[in-house]
């Protein structure tokens, strides 16, 4: 995987009238992973969107080298389409082959419309979409929500594999995330 880097310098986040966090700096390079932890409402999702470039930080600078892959609470798949076709759309956009189908147990679901899938199945489908994108920087917002214990292990090993091959991962989660070499950032320490 290509060389990648993600740095944030002195970031502050304003949500409405409220300053969520401030003076937050982070730097990740190829192969590193970071666990953003903290209670609900502390600004984990906002930070993920800021790092993705989808939200402007109230203060601070973000530097990215490498494409961003984002996994949030939405699977971003057409609800009325069978899962296979819905994922095919992203395969065409990303010009990639479908990957991790077997590992994520999606094969039996290929003909099931997305709207009939459970929360955990949607999350697994979203992981397949993310893996197919081939982006070096993964931003995962609550990736373990709704997953059963097997799927949690699969997700953890996918992220570990991604970092082992030179990718970056940032995991925002209030749940523990088991992975070698994971550093933890308590967002609460930067609360304003």
Partner 1 sequence: MSAVLALLKRDLALLTPGAHGGGGRRGGTMLPLLFFLAVAMLYPFAVGPDAPLLARTGGGVIWVAALLAAILPLDRLLAPDVEQGFFDQWALRGISEELVVAVRMIAHWLSFGPPLMLATLPAAALLGIDGATLRIVELGLLAGTPGLAAIGIIIAALTVSLRSGAALSGLLVIPLAVPLLIFGAGSLSTGGEGGLALTAAISLALIAAAPFAGGAAIRAAREG
**Binding segment (CB under 8 A) for partner 1, from list 20-28, 31-39, 50-58, 100-108:** 50-58
For residue 94, state whether it binds partner 1 (rule: CB under 8 A): yes
C-beta of 72 vs 156, nearer to partner 1: 72
Q: What is the DSSP string of 75-144?
A: --S-TTSBHHHHHHHHHHHHT----STTTTT-GGGTTSBGGGS-HHHHHHHHHHHHHHHT-SEEEEESTT
* Residue 23 sits in the site that holds partner 1 (CB under 8 A): no
Q: Does 78 bind partner 1 (CB under 8 A)?
A: yes
Which residue, chain included where needed, has tokens 């502050």? 12
CA distance 142 to 71: 8
Q: Considering the rule CB under 8 A, would residue 95 count as an interface residue with partner 1?
A: yes
Angstrom distance (rounded) from CA 174 to CA 177 = 9
Tokens 């057409």 map to which residue?
78
Does position 40 interact with partner 1 (CB under 8 A)? The reply is: no
- 119-133 and 149-164 helices, crossing angle to 10°: 10
How many other CB atoms sit within 10 Å of the CB of residue 63?
10
User: Which one of 17, 40, 92, 108 is in contact with partner 1 (CB under 8 A)?
Assistant: 92
Residue 54 touching partner 1 (CB under 8 A): yes
Asked whether position 27 contacts partner 1 by CB under 8 A, the answer is: no
Q: Could you say which of 2, 3, 79, 107 contacts partner 1 (CB under 8 A)?
A: 79
Binding residue for partner 1, selected from 30, 133, 155, 171, defined by CB under 8 A = 133
State which of positions 56-75 bind partner 1 (CB under 8 A): 56, 67-70, 72, 74
In the complex, the residues that contact partner 1 under the rule CB under 8 A are 52-56, 67-70, 72, 74, 76, 78-82, 85, 89-90, 92-95, 113, 115, 133, 135
């Amino acid at each position: 995987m290509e060389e990648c880097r993600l740095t944030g310098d002195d970031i502050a986040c304003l949500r409405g009238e409220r300053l969520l966090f401030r003076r937050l700096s982070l730097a990740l390079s190829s192969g590193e992973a970071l666990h953003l932890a903290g209670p609900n409402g502390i600004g984990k999702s906002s930070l993920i969107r800021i790092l993705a470039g989808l939200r402007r930080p109230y203060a601070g600078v973000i530097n990215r080298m490498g494409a961003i892959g984002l996994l949030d609470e939405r699977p971003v798949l057409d609800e009325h389409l069978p899962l296979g076709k819905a994922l095919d759309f992203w395969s065409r956009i990303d010009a990639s082959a479908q990957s991790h189908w077997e590992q994520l147990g999606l094969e039996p679901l290929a003909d099931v419309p997305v709207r009939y899938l459970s929360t955990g199945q949607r999350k697994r489908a979203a992981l397949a979409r993310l893996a197919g994108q081939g982006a070096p920087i993964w931003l995962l917002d609550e990736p373990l929500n709704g997953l059963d214990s097997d799927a949690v292990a699969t997700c953890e090993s996918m992220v570990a594999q991604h970092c082992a091959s030179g990718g970056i991962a940032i995991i925002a989660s209030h749940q523990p995330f088991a992975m070698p070499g994971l550093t933890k950032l308590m967002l609460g320490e930067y609360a304003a």
